[in-house]
C-alpha cells in the first residue's frame, strides 16, 4: 500500500458566489483536492493566502482589467501559491499580461471538470510549468512580441479606440460603427495587446502619447 497523498490545497477567488459553490463541490469530489477557502473579495483572498498558504489559487473577475489587477496583486505577495486563471476572458493582452506576472496557468471556463483537475495536478506537480487551455489563435496572438505597436493597429481598431476615449460604452461603439458588441470587445482587446495596455484608460493614454488618436481624428473620422 502506498502512503496517502497530502491533498492539493486550493483557494477560490471569483465574483460569482453560485459558481464558487458549484466549483467547490466539483473539486472536492476528488480525494486529492481540498478547497481551503473561497471569496469574491480580493482583500479577503490576500488574507486567506497569507494565513492558509494554499498550493493553488483559482482566480477570475468581472472584467479583464479587474482580473489583471487581481493577478498582479496576488503575484506581489511573493508566496509559494501558484496562480491559475479560470475565466471566460479570452483576451490576448490579458493572457500576455498574466504570463508576464508569473501565473502558473490560464484556462477557460468552457473546459470540463476533468480538464480542470488535470490542469491543477499538472501545475502542482511541476513548478516551472505553465498550463494553457485557450485557442491556438489567441495564444499565438498573445505571445507575439508586439513590436509593431501602434503601427500594427488597424483602421477599425483605431476607430473603436477613439470612440472609447470619448466615454462611449462597447454597445454604443458598436451602434456607431455598425458592428456587434463582441466585435468591439475584440477590437479593443487587440489594441490593448498591441499597446501593452492594461485597461481602456491606459490604452487611450498610450495612444495619445504615440499620437495615434490625433492622427485618426485628423483623417477620415
pLDDT tens profile 24-79: 999 999 999 999 999 999 999 999 999 989 999 999 988 777 888 888 888 888 88
C-alpha cell at 24: 467547490
Out of 42-46, 60-64, 137-141, 192-196, pick the least confident. Answer: 137-141
Distance between the two ends of the chain, CA-based, in angstroms?
A: 73
What does the pLDDT average to over 80-100?
Answer: 85
CB neighbours of 107 closer than 8 A, spacing ≥ 6?
Answer: 84, 85, 86, 115, 116, 119, 131, 132, 133, 134
Locus of grid cell 483572498: 45
Q: How many CB atoms lie within 10 A of CB 199?
A: 16
More confident residue, 69 or 113: 113
pLDDT (tens digit, 9 = 90+) per residue, 4-22? 568 999 999 999 999 999 9
| pLDDT of res. 77 | 87
pTM above 0.75, yes or no: no
Amino acid at each position: 500500500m502506498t502512503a496517502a497523498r497530502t491533498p492539493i490545497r486550493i483557494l477560490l477567488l471569483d465574483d460569482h458566489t453560485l459558481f464558487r459553490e458549484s466549483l467547490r463541490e466539483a473539486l472536492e469530489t476528488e480525494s486529492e483536492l481540498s478547497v481551503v477557502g473561497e471569496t469574491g473579495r480580493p482583500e479577503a483572498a490576500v488574507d486567506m493566502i497569507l494565513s492558509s498558504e494554499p498550493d493553488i489559487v483559482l482566480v477570475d473577475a468581472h472584467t479583464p482589467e479587474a482580473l489583471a489587477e487581481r493577478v498582479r496583486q496576488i503575484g506581489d505577495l511573493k508566496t509559494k501559491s501558484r496562480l491559475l486563471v479560470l475565466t471566460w476572458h479570452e483576451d490576448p493582452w490579458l493572457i500576455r499580461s498574466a504570463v508576464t506576472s508569473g501565473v502558473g496557468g490560464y484556462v477557460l471556463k468552457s473546459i470540463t471538470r476533468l480538464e480542470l483537475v488535470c490542469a491543477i495536478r499538472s501545475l502542482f506537480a511541476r513548478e516551472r510549468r505553465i498550463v494553457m487551455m485557450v485557442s491556438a489563435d489567441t495564444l499565438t496572438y498573445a505571445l507575439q512580441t508586439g513590436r509593431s505597436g501602434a503601427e500594427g493597429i488597424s483602421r477599425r481598431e483605431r476607430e473603436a479606440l477613439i470612440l472609447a476615449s470619448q466615454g462611449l460604452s462597447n454597445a454604443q461603439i458598436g451602434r456607431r460603427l455598425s458592428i456587434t458588441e463582441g466585435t468591439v470587445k475584440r477590437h479593443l482587446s487587440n489594441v490593448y495587446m498591441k499597446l501593452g495596455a492594461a485597461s481602456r484608460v491606459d490604452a487611450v493614454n498610450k495612444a495619445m502619447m504615440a499620437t495615434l488618436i490625433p492622427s485618426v481624428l485628423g483623417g477620415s473620422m
